[in-house]
Amino acid sequence: MSAEQKLIAIEEISEANAPAIYVAGGLQQFIDLVKAEIDGEVPDLTTRKGRERIASLAAKVSKSKTAVEKPGRDYLRRLKEMPKVVEAELREFVTTMDALRDETRRPLTEWEQAEDARIDRHNDRLDWLRNRDDGLDALEATDIKDRIASVEKVVIGPEWEEFEAEAAREKDKVLNTLRSGLAKREKYDAEQAELARLRREADERAEQDRIRAAQEAAVEVERQRVALEQKEAREAAARREQELLDQAAEQEREAENQRLQLKLQAEQAERARVQAEADRVATEQRMEQERQAAARRQEQAAEQARQEERRRADAAAAEIVRQQEARERDVAHRRSINRAALDAFVAGGMTEECAKQAITLIAERKIPNITIQY
């Protein structure tokens, strides 16, 4: 093959043979061909033809370069565009395959979603059953009964599917818990009602004890009043006895009889006083025993009852003191009136002894139609 033919072969490089040419070392063959043609020439610069020959060879080298470079450049541009095409193609391929995969799996996905929803519905119903006994201790008996009724209404059957056995167990379990809680609550309510009844009975007994104690206290006050009057009577009798001793001899026998009578009265009064004192001590002991018994019966309301009893006792004591002071004031008042009357009699010309006797007779209402206004 001549050099001209080789150049033509270079120029015939095409898209079809480009992948085999434009590889590592693939263009060396064309370099070698061109160099072989140039190396065989002997440049002659002395003649025009020789110079034109050199110029022609250089032009052929340039033409050969262009003939190899241009298809290579075109091939390289196509190679650079190829990744974009491949990327777009792969992208479309992946998208289509993903959609095809999702569409192929769609029935299974829909079934799984429906299955999850079905299981969730069963689990929700199971959770509802399990939670029926939450907060049981804080519920009233009526609320527990409502929960029992709501659980009993739950029908366990084929609609529970594979959860039927578990639902039956949970229903039985929560019903047992609720019924046990109801029994416990009803027992507690019954105990509270019994405690309330016992408290009412204790309050009623305490009120009865209070009334009885008040009545006994009133009786005791009356006894003390009688004892005081008897004491005053004894004192008055003693005064009268002393006064009678000073009377004339002709009244000695009568005075003696009166003295004996007054002594008898004094003894009776003393016995009455001793009895009254014994009764008072016995009454105080009985009241103390009853107060302690009432305190034990009213264990929960003991402090309030004791305070109430203390106020009543203070009031009774205050009343006794008031009556005592009133009697003392009355005695003092009577004494002052008697003293004024005695002074008036003496001032009127009577002896003091006669005046005393007159006042005594008037005070004892032995002088008709004459009284002393106290």
Per-residue pLDDT tens for 111-142?
989 989 999 999 998 899 888 888 888 888 88
Q: What pLDDT does 228 receive?
A: 84
Predicted confidence band at 295 (pLDDT cuts at 50, 70, 90)?
low
Hey, where are the domains in the chain? 3-115
Alpha carbon separation from 189 to 172, 175, 192 (Å, rounded): 25, 20, 5
Q: What pLDDT does 68 receive?
A: 83
Percent of the chain whose predicted confidence (pLDDT) is above 70? 91
Which stretch of 4-18, 24-38, 146-160, 191-205 has the lowest confidence by average pLDDT? 4-18
Q: What pLDDT does 8 receive?
A: 36
Alpha carbon separation from 176 to 132, 170, 179, 182 (Å, rounded): 11, 10, 5, 10
CB 127 within 8 A of CB 119: no
Residues 197-251 have pLDDT tens digits of 999 988 888 888 888 888 888 888 888 888 888 888 788 777 877 776 677 667 6
As a whole number of Å, the CA-based R_g of the chain is 70
Q: What pLDDT does 255 receive?
A: 59
CB 270 within 8 A of CB 263: no
Residues 238-272 have pLDDT tens digits of 787 777 667 766 767 775 777 777 778 777 877 87
Q: What pLDDT does 229 receive?
A: 82
Task: Mention every residue, 6+ apart, whose C-beta is less than 8 A from residue 111.
Answer: none
Distance, in Å, from the CA atom of 4 to the CA atom of 255, rounded to the nearest integer, reads 198
Which stretch of 95-109, 270-284, 340-354 has the lowest confidence by average pLDDT? 270-284
What is the residue-averaged pLDDT of the chain? 82
